[in-house]
A = this chain, B = another copy of it.
């Protein structure tokens, strides 16, 4: 194998696939990045067996030469060292050559690295991507959907299925749900897919978090492909394979209340800052509890108490307070997470009593719901 590649392209690809590489792998070859040079260009792959990322550098791109493959071939190079080395190479061009016994020479300017490579035949093969069972979505929207749901997955391993996000596709509608059983995030988005196909999968939260880091903020399309036990996200030069979680995701539809007894309409940012201040003292307590009480004149009081430190209290003028008086306690962290995920300047919180789950939603747009369970204190 021998090729000459632009350093920028090399660094970008190696950094992208490194995101899938774990230093704590039980499969020795997975400490490495697979490099495959073909007549079409060079493909880099990193994997921790749950997630695999493949990044390709095509020979030509918009009349510009990215890479010149002198001899095809493949090798596996230690991910950590390889990625640190390529970042610090002195010249804008890099030559990579495999000689005998998987020995690999990385040359750039007057610097030369002789690396001990590993046999690429030992690297696990990624499954072939089947065509047909897929839909397209823009980078932007996919990133927003991830951001608005993934924070609510469970971090406890006691119910593994809850560490993933449930993606349900039915009749051109994608519904994404995450819950750790104390709160729930739900986001819907219309998509275009073969209307006879429906899917119900659970994608590990970690995979979606990595995908979010990998995608650019633009409107380019991402192809999402459903496969046996796997989901694949495919952009122009990137592929992310993630295994799916096995098991049935709980039915959460009955959790979401469809009536309300008290409704608040408020400025998201002002409310967020007030909760943030109250949470400074709440953080000491085990549950990070903040209290909210309706007052007169469209005003609420937000308060928190820590026996050792003191008490915080703040009155906040809202846009609208309607319905029954309410005193309710909840986790400041869950409230802050939910508020940060909402993009609207104004939002509505609908309560059905101090002991029932309440929901945050935008006034005009019903595509997103954040649900939080209160904490009993009164």
Kindly state whether residue A267 has any CB partner on chain B within 8 Å.
no
Shortest Cβ distance from A313 into B: residue: B112
Given contacts A90-B273, A280-B84, A280-B85, contact A110 B314 (CB under 8 A): yes
Q: Is there a chain B Cβ closer than 8 Å to A116's Cβ?
A: yes
Q: Are B277 and A309 in contact (CB under 8 A)?
A: no
Question: Which residues of chain B come closer than 8 Å to A274, judged between CB atoms?
Answer: 90, 111
Distance between A91 CB and nearest chain B CB, rounded to angstroms: 11
Instruction: Kindly state whether residue A114 has any CB partner on chain B within 8 Å.
Output: yes
Q: Are B88 and A276 in contact (CB under 8 A)?
A: yes
Q: Which residues of B contact A85 (CB under 8 A)?
A: 277, 280, 312
Cβ contact within 8 Å between A314 and B112: yes
Closest chain-B Cβ to A106's Cβ sits at a distance in Å of 9
Given A277-B85, A277-B88, do A114 and B311 touch, yes or no (CB 8 Å)? Answer: yes
For the complex, is A316 an interface residue (Cβ under 8 Å from B)?
A: yes
* A88-B276, A273-B88, A276-B88 given; A113·B281 CB < 8 A: yes
Task: Please give me the residue from chain B that is nearest to A306 by CB atom.
Answer: B81
B310–A115 CB distance below 8 A: yes
Q: In this assembly, does A131 line the interface, its C-beta being within 8 Å of a C-beta of chain B? A: no
User: Is A2 in the interface zone, CB < 8 Å from B?
Assistant: no
> Among B104, B115, B312, which residue has its beta carbon within 8 angstroms of that of A111?
B312
Identify the closest chain B residue to A116 (Cβ).
B310
Residue of B whose beta carbon sits closest to that of A302: B111
Over the window 269-289 of chain A, the binary record of Cβ atoms lying under 8 Å from chain B Cβ atoms (1 yes, 0 no) is 000011011001100000000
Cα–Cα, bound, A62→B90 (Å): 51
A172 to B113, CA, bound (A): 51
Q: Which of B111, B273, B313 contacts A277 (CB 8 A)?
A: B111
Q: Does A128 contact B (CB under 8 A)?
A: no
Residues on B with C-beta less than 8 A from A315 are 110
Are B277 and A316 within 8 A (Cβ)? no
Contact B110 A309 (CB under 8 A): no
Chain A contacts with B in 289-339, Cβ cutoff 8 A: 308-316
List 7 interface pairs A-B (beta carbons < 8 Å), by A numbering: A81-B309, A85-B277, A85-B280, A110-B314, A111-B313, A113-B281, A113-B311
Listed from nearest, the 6 A-B pairs whose CB atoms lie closest are: A115-B310, A111-B314, A114-B311, A114-B310, A110-B315, A113-B312
